[in-house]
Amino acid sequence: MTTITNVADLRELARRRVPRAFFEYADRGSYDESTLRENVRALDRIKLRQRVMIDVDRRNLATSFIGQPVSLPLAIAPTGLTGLQYGGGEILGARAAAAAGIPFTLSTMSICSIEQVAAACDTPFWFQVYVMRDRGFTRELIQRAHAAKCSALMLTVDLTIQGQRHREVKNGLAVPPKLTLRNAVDIMGKPRWVWNVLRAPSRSFGNLAGRIGGDSLTTLSQWIASQFDPTLTWADLAWIREAWPGKLIIKGIMDPRDAKLAADHGVDAIVVSNHGGRQLDGAPASIDALPAVVQEVGDRCEVLFDGGITSGQALFKALALGARGALMGKAFLYGLGAMGQPGVTAAIEIIRKELSTTMALCGQTDVAAIDRDALW
């Protein structure tokens, strides 16, 4: 494949270059994957309003997230195991995002640590945190993010208990990778991936050094079940706020009642997200939950969107339904797995170009002015 025209092309290239266990970790969802599919189908059902004879020669795609200027209403979502899609993947993603003028979010479950990414990148990034049973360790993670000058903390609240992802169980997904005959043959057929991972600064969870591994926990899902804290409540925002003095984003909001509670607690932004169809299978598409959340919070906090952003058209639809911007997860990982940093740049620029073209054909000239009237 020599010509990349859309994110689907990047996905196909990543499928060929990344070992099956790690590609399917990025690509698939939980249980029967009905919510994973619905994220895409619901966006496809929304139709755009074509307008003509409007001067659209100059189009503004720039806006801001939580006071931070961005060149495009897009951020890179937090994704686990990023450095096992491509060696040093977190660093490459952060560099590509900085060059494009958009935020990068580093996951707690990253391969490269907070400190490794901060040392390799001049631009501050966002840090996503999960609350562990060991609250002291969670505080330590937050303090490390503050010391690294991260510009926002993103608290993910929809993975206190993991929805089963059948592919991960069948693939025996573990970090570091455990060699079986099946995945050894698969990995041997991916020499580019092996070379890049071997050269990377880290091959296990950099933020969790000394806290994961051993023979008693053979899979990632087993470790998450033992460490993530299902007792997390809104009351925990008090000590999180105490530990984190900067901008706070909550990711995983789908219900207007939860959106109201988040706004009542003074968070700076929320992310409407069903975890990419990787948690509660049978939940609605994120795009179907977005309008009610936007209506509930009004201007009390910013609303970002996550779930199916693999094109500029999808991003346009989220903006039209009230999101200030969106996060891309799978599209980022496809680009990374396909070509490393140039692939991430390609994914961002594909979405930027598609958004700009869609704006022109819908008679829109400013991302901040796109509203429901742009939809059919």
The predicted pLDDT at position 177 comes to 59
E strand or H helix at 173: none
pLDDT digit string, tens, across residues 124-156? 999 999 999 999 999 999 999 999 999 999 999
Confidence (pLDDT) at 187: 86
Per residue in 52-83, pLDDT tens?
Answer: 999 999 999 999 999 999 999 999 999 999 99
In this model, does residue 213 exceed pLDDT 60?
no
Does residue 69 sit in helix, strand or coil?
A: strand
Kindly tell me if the per-residue pLDDT of 216 is higher than 50.
no
* Bridge partners for 79 per DSSP: none
Closest CA to 248 of 232, 231, 236: 236
Task: List pLDDT tens digits, range 287-314.
Answer: 999 999 999 999 999 999 999 999 999 9
Q: Quick check: 218 pLDDT over 70?
A: no
pLDDT at position 219 is 59
Q: Residue 276's pLDDT band (boundaries 50, 70, 90)?
A: very high
Q: Is 275 a catalytic residue?
A: yes
Confidence at residue 240, expressed as pLDDT on a 0 to 100 scale: 97
Provide the pLDDT for residue 217: 40
Least confident among 13-17, 158-162, 282-286: 158-162
Dihedral angle, C-alpha 306, 312, 318, 321, nearest 10 °: 180
Summary mean pLDDT of the chain = 93
Structural domains of the chain in order of their starting residue, each with its CATH number: 7-374 (3.20.20.70)
pLDDT recorded at residue 175: 60
Active-site pick, 146, 166, 265, 275: 275
- pLDDT per residue as tens digits for the range 330-340: 999 999 999 99
Write down the pLDDT at residue 212: 65
Q: How many CB atoms lie within 10 A of CB 149?
A: 11
Query: What confidence score (pLDDT) does residue 283 get?
Result: 97
pLDDT confidence of 48, banded at 50, 70, 90?
Answer: very high
Neighbours of 297 (CB within 10 A): 22
pLDDT of residue 178: 63
Comparing 127-131, 178-182, 230-234, 358-362, which segment has the lowest mean pLDDT?
Answer: 178-182
**What's residue 318's pLDDT?**
98
SS (H, E, C) 321-354: CCCCEEEECHHHHHHHHHHCHHHHHHHHHHHHHH
Strand partners, 156: 251
Omega cis (within 30) before 176: yes
Mean pLDDT on 7-15: 97
